[in-house]
């Protein structure tokens, strides 16, 4: 119960897990092109994590009885799929927008990050969607250094998205990260009615804005995991795990 603020020793371990996740993402970013089969991404993640002695955090994960064990080490969500897309035998196509979400557990601590990409040449709408969503993540990261409570971060993310006219997805958001991938506090991408937990040194959270071009409504698919937009419009997701250090300095743990 409650937020577990981390010691320097724990942050060091979280940094190592975060760095592995970041390096794996950086290599995947170089692989992305029209024609790449999604299953090659899954295979690359298996190899990298095994080579570093890391556990695939996502595999067999089930937050509650409602969810079947997650069947892969990576979430790949394309176009109208927002998050938690399950890798399948499909080639990336020119113009796709794709989100890759990865989690590694190294020496008992988790790193969690997600990035979205345009595949080949993409529309201006997709370019703007990528820009707005990534900018809102960084607005949240910047806000974390002066924030007193979680809601100050939520508000900064919301304020960065609203002027775009795109919509903020409710019901999903960021979370504490530690020995488990999902710890308290929950970090919505919009203001809450409460101030939320104290932001102070030792807080480690994943921020993960999710933005739709169209309506904010989403639905879960029959596979039990994939979350899609209800209106079929494009959507986007970025995520970093960050730590609050002494003096309010914010360290992004999932940078390579
Ligand atoms: N990184 C995501 C999150 O923070 C994905 C986890 S879902 C899983 O919620 F099943 F893939 F593990
Ligand atoms: Co996450």
Please identify, by atom number, the ligand 1 atom nearest to the C-alpha of residue 75. 11
Confidence class for position 121, pLDDT limits 50, 70, 90? very high
What's the pLDDT at 54?
Answer: 98
238 and 190 Cβ atoms separated by less than 8 Å: no
Integer Rg of the chain from CA? 17
pLDDT digits (tens, 9 = 90+) for 59-92: 999 999 999 999 999 999 999 999 999 999 999 9
Q: How far apart are CA 199 and CA 41, in angstroms?
A: 35
pLDDT of residue 115 exceeding 90, the answer is yes
What's the pLDDT at 256?
Answer: 86
Q: What mean pLDDT is predicted for residues 13-23?
A: 98
Domains (range + CATH), the chain: 8-252 (3.90.230.10)
pTM value > 0.95: yes
State which of 101, 176, 223 you would mutate to test the pocket of ligand 1, scoring each by most atoms of that ligand within 8 A of its C-beta: 101
Helix (H, G, I), strand (E, B) or coil at 150: helix
Confidence class for position 1, pLDDT limits 50, 70, 90? confident
Ligand closest in space to the Cα of 58: 1
Q: How far apart are CA 248 and CA 150, in angstroms?
A: 14
Pairing of strands 210-212, 55-56: unpaired
**Ligand 2 center from residue 63 Cα (angstroms):** 12
Q: How far apart are CA 236 and CA 78, in angstroms?
A: 9
Q: How far apart are CA 176 and CA 196, in angstroms?
A: 12
**Ligand 2 center from residue 111 Cα (angstroms):** 9
Please work out whether the CB of residue 42 comes within 6 Å of at least one atom of ligand 1.
no
- Scan for tokens 């910047």, then name that residue: 142
Q: What mean pLDDT is predicted for residues 161-170?
A: 98
Please identify, by atom number, the ligand 1 atom nearest to the C-alpha of residue 57. 12
**Ligand 1 center from residue 92 Cα (angstroms):** 21
- Scan for tokens 């795990």, then name that residue: 241
Q: How far apart are CA 14 and CA 185, in angstroms?
A: 17
Please work out whether the CB of residue 172 comes within 6 Å of at least one atom of ligand 1.
no
- In the chain, where do the E strands start and end? 55-56, 74-78, 81-83, 97-106, 109-118, 167-168, 173-176, 183-188, 204-207, 210-212, 218-220, 227-229, 235-237, 240-244, 250-252
């Amino acid at each position: 119960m409650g937020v577990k603020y981390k010691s320097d020793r724990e942050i060091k371990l979280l940094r190592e897990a975060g760095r592995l996740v970041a390096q794996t993402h950086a290599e995947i970013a170089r692989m992305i092109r029209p024609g790449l089969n999604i299953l090659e991404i899954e295979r690359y993640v298996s190899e990298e994590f095994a080579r570093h002695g890391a556990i695939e955090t996502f595999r067999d994960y089930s937050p509650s009885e409602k969810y079947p064990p997650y069947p892969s080490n990576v979430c790949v969500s394309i176009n109208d799929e927002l998050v938690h897309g399950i890798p399948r035998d499909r080639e990336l196509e020119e113009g796709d927008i794709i989100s890759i979400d990865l989690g590694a557990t190294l020496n008992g601590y988790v790193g969690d990050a997600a990035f979205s990409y345009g595949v080949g040449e993409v529309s201006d709408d997709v370019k703007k969607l990528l820009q707005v969503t990534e900018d809102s993540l960084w607005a949240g990261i910047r806000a974390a250094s002066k924030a007193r409570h979680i809601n100050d971060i939520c508000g900064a993310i919301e304020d960065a998205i609203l002027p775009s006219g795109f919509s903020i997805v409710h019901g999903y958001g960021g979370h504490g990260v530690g020995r488990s991938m999902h710890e308290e506090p929950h970090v919505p991408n919009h203001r809450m009615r409460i101030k939320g937990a104290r932001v102070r040194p030792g807080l480690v959270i994943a921020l993960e804005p999710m933005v739709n071009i169209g309506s904010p409504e989403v639905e879960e698919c029959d596979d039990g995991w994939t979350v899609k937009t209800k209106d079929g419009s494009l959507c986007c997701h970025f995520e970093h795990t960050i730590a609050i250090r002494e003096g309010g300095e914010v360290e992004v743990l999932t940078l390579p």
